[in-house]
Amino acid sequence: MSSADTSRRVAFETIRAVNESDAYANLLLPKAIARAGLSTADAALATELTYGTLRRQGTYDAVIQIAADRGIQEIDPAVLDALRLGVHQLLSTRVASHAAVNESVDLARSAGSRGASGFANAVLRRVSRDTPGEWMSRVAASARSDDERLGLVHSHPVWIVRAFRRALAAEGRADELEALLTADNAAPRVTMAALPGLAAVPEDARHTPYSPFGFRLGGGDPERLVRESAGRVRVQDEGSQLAALALTRAVPARPGEVWLDLCAGPGGKTAVLAAEALQVGARLEANEVSPVRAGLVRHAIAGIPLEVPVSEEDGRTRPGSGGYDRILVDAPCTGLGALRRRPEARWRKSPADVAELTQLQGELLAAAIGGLRPGGVVAYVTCSPHLGETAGVVSEARRAFGDSIEELDARAVLRGISDAEPDLPAQKDGSGRAQLWPHRHNTDAMSITLLRRS
């Protein structure tokens, strides 16, 4: 078996685990690559094949359905995954057609029932006869509505397409929808953070436009840099950096303040808060209800010379009453803002998840507001632009707490942090919420709201 064939096998097995066992590609793939002993180039191929196939799965399913002249639900799941991987190579990579067809047929043969290889061979050869543009035209023509067309062509469930349109329309930018959907299907560049006061941005790195300590490497191994810095340099999306900074720099900090990261796992934002607390003489506490994720938080802050106690309590009761100057509520959410990184999430979530999560989000935000001292600030953050999880939750909190809280202008805070001017249009509801976007800011779609206790 050639090294490229091994890369395909790793990609196929990862995709199978994602679709069959609800595994997470970002956790499973690195282990599979290491186990297979892939070179850097072969690991890159396996990564591109895995994530590219998962991102475009909805589009490829439409192609397969047309080429096979049968519904995808009628195709054996393992054979379907082999077909998806083959169609990705045929329509979205420079892999030679014969290699894409032959190796995908072999995967189908090894995973499917009798006759699977002949069926897979017929479907993939049918796909290989026409150009990607011709297939996209067929897919678009098969749609029953404009929203379904966008969903099929850009590989997003229709309900997510509509949620994104509403979130963009809340800024008067609904015309950016296709740009957003396109950005969701592009592999994100690796962004890093040099924790303030603890590490410096490497001289040969390029600063990111918004976070004062964010950067991108021109080359080299980011994980090596993380190890050598004892975690004081870390891989972290620029939006995540800004969410933590929005809290610490919303109003001037004073020595002796007490801060809380209420939903801290896996600890990236906690690390930024700890570095900032160290600089201003504040005390930081962290909480994460999941013991496994609490362990990740402890690991994330291990290299920071500040004692940060990490509790494992229910965040809805953890803040108590009136003891904190700043609280970060990085709430559990649908994760629709990070579909570039976790492409399988788009196929696992449903509108029902939003209703369930918004109740929890509201309870966490209410607990945080109740835990603030007078003048204290809470940052309510979601890695989702869905208006139900963002504006809706905040609106309910403002209604419940009335004049006892006021909203700060998160957009102005981010402008004060950033070197470049972030494009943050006003929200039509008049709120101070800041919404970051992949297509506009090259970050995850992070929503940031700042509320201050009167």
User: CA-CA distances (angstroms) from residue 266 to 217, 293, 326, 366?
Assistant: 23, 5, 19, 22
Q: How far apart are CA 250 and CA 410, in angstroms?
A: 8
Token couple for 12: 């196929």
Q: Taking a C-beta distance cutoff of 8 angstroms, is the pair 88, 54 a contact?
A: no
Alpha helix (H) ranges present in 214-326?
222-228, 238-248, 268-280, 291-300
The backbone torsions φ and ψ at residue 319, rounded to the nearest 5 degrees and listed phi first, read: -65, -25
Q: Taking a C-beta distance cutoff of 8 angstroms, is the pair 417, 211 a contact?
A: yes
Please identify which of the residues 383, 387, 417, 446 carries the catalytic annotation: 383
Q: How many CB atoms lie within 10 A of CB 309?
A: 10
Token couple for 343: 């492409």
Token couple for 33: 């690559």
Q: How far apart are CA 354 and CA 33, in angstroms?
A: 34
The backbone torsions φ and ψ at residue 231, rounded to the nearest 5 degrees and listed phi first, read: 85, 5
List the one residue out of 66, 63, 69 whose CA is nearest residue 86.
63
Strands 447-453 and 233-235 turn out to be: unpaired
Is position 383 annotated as part of the catalytic site?
Answer: yes
Token couple for 243: 């969410």
Alpha helix (H) ranges present in 93-214?
97-111, 116-128, 132-141, 146-154, 158-169, 177-184
Q: How far apart are CA 446 and CA 136, in angstroms?
A: 30
Residue 140: is it exposed, middle or buried by C-beta count within 10 angstroms (0-12/13-18/19+)? middle
Token couple for 162: 């509509």
Q: How many CB atoms lie within 10 A of CB 2?
A: 10
Active-site residue numbers? 383
